[in-house]
């Protein structure tokens, strides 16, 4: 277990040509203090948990002190925002402190979000508010707990800094981690600037550091694009299966490693509603839940376009199709898993679609229903009342249940064994907006951060029943105020 000073920095991104970034130091807050530290993420760095209570720990993670070996920079990128190309974005408030190699040799970039102005800040103030920081911190770990690829969260540090949004709010910084923060937009910027030589440099960087097996291919750039397309398909399928919407799927928020990246106005669905829009600024519903698979396709096309100087036409055209095949295959597999089905039979897709339609018309809570479905029994007197009571029109559900039972019989499904499996597919606990909001209220109002830690612990094991935490599995109470979340805060 390492002391902070012993973290071993590699900083491979900083070794790229200067055009890729701006070297810039974080701007600290006065009197920083720790809001929360995540021991799991610290473990990825082999960081000694004893370090969390060091008096200067918050100074390192609010930019007041630099870790030895760190070489801070803001990354350049552009991207398509809501379908329109924006020639220059870049890290306007996030600063890459450097890349740490852990004992296993795994690279972890440490990025401090809310760390102050950079050349890419445009009209922004370079800051993040505590509220949005808590949301990103918790959701990164909740997604990881669900087995969905994501950036990770190390800690939140706050200080005596007020940040203006619609009103004054406490500011904070989030230290997030990923093997790489390179985005689709990191490539797009060089394509549209016609600096194709840098496209190649970046593609080589990504291949050498993150997709080494691709190097063997006849055309490694084709292989890279196709690999990213498929992985993005798997990622989107996982979002759909768990009922989660990102909210701002601009190409600058799409990770080249297919991680869930840049948590803003995301949302887990409560009642099943395909038209669910979590981002309050998304008036057209471009990034609604049901559009995510199509947006993934659109974004892969944008990436293929950006990489086109390195590719042939066939490879460019194939990429979105590979994405789509991967996404559909994975989604079907995950939904079969959510129904507890081991085999693939003709008609499975229809069984799923019919169920979702019923859930939609009865506005059934997505997460609690699937969890409860694990208790479905094939035999016995009216054994499934708990499941059917989710529906307004119980007799319509009964029709579906007859077909489900037949399908289970067809693969000789065993109730007990199936429930164990389904409980590993259907989470009990998700980060419902109202739960995050409760933690935010306590933190911003009373400077009580205990709820953040409680949620962090709970959500890192979302499939496990946790005694005393039953209330956290419940849908939002009917009288809970609607929570409005929109783009960058």
Residues annotated as catalytic (active site), given as ranges: 252
Q: Give the residue carrying structure tokens 């920079």.
A: 73
Q: Which is nearer to ligand AMP, 173 or 327 (CB)?
A: 173
Note whether 455 binds ligand AMP by CB under 6 A: no
CB of 94 to ligand AMP, least distance (A): 6
Q: Which does 121 bind (CB under 5 to 8 A by kind): ligand AMP, Mg ion, none?
A: ligand AMP
Q: Which residue is nearest to Mg ion (CB)?
A: 262
Q: For residue 195, which of 389, 429, 19, 402 has the smallest C-alpha distance? A: 19
DSSP string, 385-406: HHHHTT-SSHHHHHHHHHHHHH
Closest to Mg ion by CB, 127 vs 338, is 127
Q: What does the chain come to in residues?
A: 489
Tokens of 251: 């190409």
- Please report whether residue 253 would count as binding Mg ion according to CB under 5 A: yes
Q: Which does 127 bind (CB under 5 to 8 A by kind): Mg ion, ligand AMP, none?
A: ligand AMP
The b-or-e profile of 413-433 (16+ CB within 10 A means b, else e) is: bebeebbebbbebbbbbbbbb
Residues 111 and 180 sit within 8 Å (Cβ to Cβ): no
CB of 89 to ligand AMP, least distance (A): 4
Question: Which listed range, 125-133, 266-274, 292-300, 330-338, lies at the site for ligand AMP (CB under 6 A)?
Answer: 125-133
Of the two residues 186 and 253, which places its CB atom closer to ligand AMP in the complex? 253
Residue nearest ligand AMP, Cβ-based: 124
Site string for Mg ion, 200-239 (x = CB under 5 A): ----------------------------------------
User: Does residue 169 touch ligand AMP according to CB under 6 A?
Assistant: no
Site size with Mg ion, rule: CB under 5 A: 2
Q: Based on CB atoms, which residue is closest to Mg ion, 169 or 262?
A: 262
Phi, psi dihedral angles at 6 (to 5 degrees): -95, 0
The least distance separating Mg ion from the CB of residue 175, rounded to whole angstroms, comes to 16
If binding is defined by CB under 6 A, does position 171 make contact with ligand AMP? Answer: no
Q: Which of residues 460-489 bind ligand AMP (CB under 6 A)?
A: 487-488
Give the per-residue SS3 of 29-94: CCCCEEEEECHHHHHHCCECHHHHHCCCHHHHCCCCCCCCCCCCEEECCCEEECCEEECCCCCCCE
Our CB check for ligand AMP shows the closer of 46 and 488 to be 488
- Contacts of 445 by beta carbon, 8 Å cutoff, 6+ apart: none
Q: Is there binding between residue 131 and ligand AMP (CB under 6 A)?
A: no
Residues ≥6 apart with Cβ < 8 Å to 455: 138, 431, 435, 436, 439, 472
Per CB under 6 A, 248 contacts ligand AMP: yes
CA angle 472/477/480 to nearest 5° reads 110
Among Mg ion, ligand AMP, none, what binds residue 383 when CB lies within 5 to 8 Å by partner kind? none
**Which listed residue (264, 320, 340, 462) binds ligand AMP by CB under 6 A?**
264
> Which of the ranges 19-27, 118-126, 447-455, 464-472 carries the binding residues for ligand AMP, by CB under 6 A?
118-126
> Which one of residues 10, 136, 227, 262 is an interface residue with ligand AMP (CB under 6 A)?
262
For residue 484, which of 170, 261, 265, 172 has the smallest C-alpha distance? 265
Instruction: Quickly list DSSP for 262-322.
Output: --SS-EE-SB--TT----TT-TT-TT-GGGHHHHHHHHHHHHHHHHGGGS-HHHHHHHHHH
Q: How many residues bind ligand AMP (CB under 6 A)?
A: 17
The whole-angstrom separation of Cα 118 and Cα 115 is: 9
Q: Closest separation between CB of residue 297 and ligand AMP, Å? A: 20
State the Cα–Cα distance between residues 90 and 121, nearest whole angstrom. Answer: 8
Smallest distance from Mg ion to CB 262, Å: 4
State which residue, 42 or 306, has the beta carbon closest to Mg ion.
306
CB of 93 to ligand AMP, least distance (A): 4
Helix (H) or strand (E) holding 354: helix 348-362
Per-residue x/- marks for Mg ion, 259-278, CB under 5 A? Answer: ---x----------------
Per-residue tokens: 377: 């029994």
State how far the Cα of 188 lies from the Cα of 302, in Å rounded to an integer.
8
Any idea what the Cα angle at residue 64 is, between residues 61 and 65, rounded to 5°? 80
Q: Cβ closer to ligand AMP: 93 or 432?
A: 93
x-or-dash string of contact with ligand AMP, 62-101, rule CB under 6 A:
---------------------------xxxxx--------
The yes or no reply on residue 126 touching ligand AMP (CB under 6 A) is: yes
3-state helix, strand, coil in the chain (%, to 5): 45, 15, 40
Compute how many other C-beta atoms are within 10 angstroms of the C-beta atom of residue 112.
Answer: 27
Task: Tell me how far, at minimum, the Cβ of 51 lies from ligand AMP, in Å.
Answer: 29
Binding site for Mg ion (CB under 5 A): 253, 262
Binding site for ligand AMP (CB under 6 A): 89-93, 120-121, 124-127, 248, 253, 262, 264, 487-488
């Amino acid at each position: 277990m390492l002391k902070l000073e012993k973290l071993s920095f590699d900083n491979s991104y900083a070794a790229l040509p200067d055009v890729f970034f701006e070297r810039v130091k974080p701007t600290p807050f006065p009197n920083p203090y720790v809001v929360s530290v995540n021991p799991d993420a610290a473990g990825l760095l082999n960081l000694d948990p004893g370090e969390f209570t060091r008096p200067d720990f918050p100074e390192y993670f609010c930019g007041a002190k630099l870790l030895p070996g760190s070489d801070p920079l803001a990354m350049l990128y552009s991207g398509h925002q809501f379908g329109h190309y924006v020639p220059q974005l870049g890290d306007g408030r996030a600063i890459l402190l450097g890349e740490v190699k852990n004992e296993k040799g795994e690279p972890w970039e440490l990025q401090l979000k809310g760390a102050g102005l950079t050349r890419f800040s445009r009209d922004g103030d370079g800051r993040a508010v505590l509220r949005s920081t808590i949301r990103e911190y918790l959701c990164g770990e909740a997604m990881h707990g669900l087995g969905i690829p994501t950036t990770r969260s190390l800690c939140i540090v706050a200080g005596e800094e007020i940040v203006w949004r619609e009103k004054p709010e406490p500011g904070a910084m989030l230290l997030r981690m990923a093997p790489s923060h390179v985005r689709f937009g990191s490539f797009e910027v060089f394509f549209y600037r016609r600096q194709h030589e840098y496209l190649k440099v970046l593609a080589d960087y990504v291949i050498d550091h993150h997709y080494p097996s691709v190097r063997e291919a006849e055309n490694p750039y084709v292989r890279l694009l196709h690999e990213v397309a498929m992985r993005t398909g798997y990622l989107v399928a996982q979002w759909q299966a768990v009922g989660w919407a990102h909210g701002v799927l601009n190409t600058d928020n799409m990770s080249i490693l297919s991680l869930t990246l840049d948590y803003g106005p995301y949302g887990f669905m409560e009642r099943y509603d395909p038209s669910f829009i979590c981002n309050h600024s998304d008036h057209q519903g471009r990034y609604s839940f049901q559009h995510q698979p199509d947006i993934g396709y659109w974004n892969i096309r944008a990436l293929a376009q950006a990489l086109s100087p390195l590719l042939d036409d066939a490879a460019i055209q194939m990429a979105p199709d590979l994405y789509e095949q991967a996404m559909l295959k994975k989604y079907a597999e995950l939904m079969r898993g959510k129904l507890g089905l081991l085999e693939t039979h003709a008609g499975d897709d229809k069984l799923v679609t019919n169920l979702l339609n019923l859930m939609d018309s009865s506005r059934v809570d997505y997460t609690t229903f699937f969890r409860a479905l694990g208790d479905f029994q094939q035999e016995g007197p009216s054994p499934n009342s708990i499941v059917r009571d989710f529906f307004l029109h119980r007799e319509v559900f009964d029709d579906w249940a007859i077909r489900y039972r037949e399908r289970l019989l067809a693969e000789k499904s065993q109730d007990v064994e199936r429930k164990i499996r389904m409980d590993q597919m259907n989470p009990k606990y998700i980060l419902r907006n109202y739960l995050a909001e409760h933690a935010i209220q306590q933190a911003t109002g009373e400077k009580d951060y205990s709820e953040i830690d409680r949620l962090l612990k709970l959500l890192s094991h979302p499939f496990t029943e946790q005694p005393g935490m039953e209330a956290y599995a419940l849908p939002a109470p009917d009288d809970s105020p609607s929570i409005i979340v929109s783009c960058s805060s």
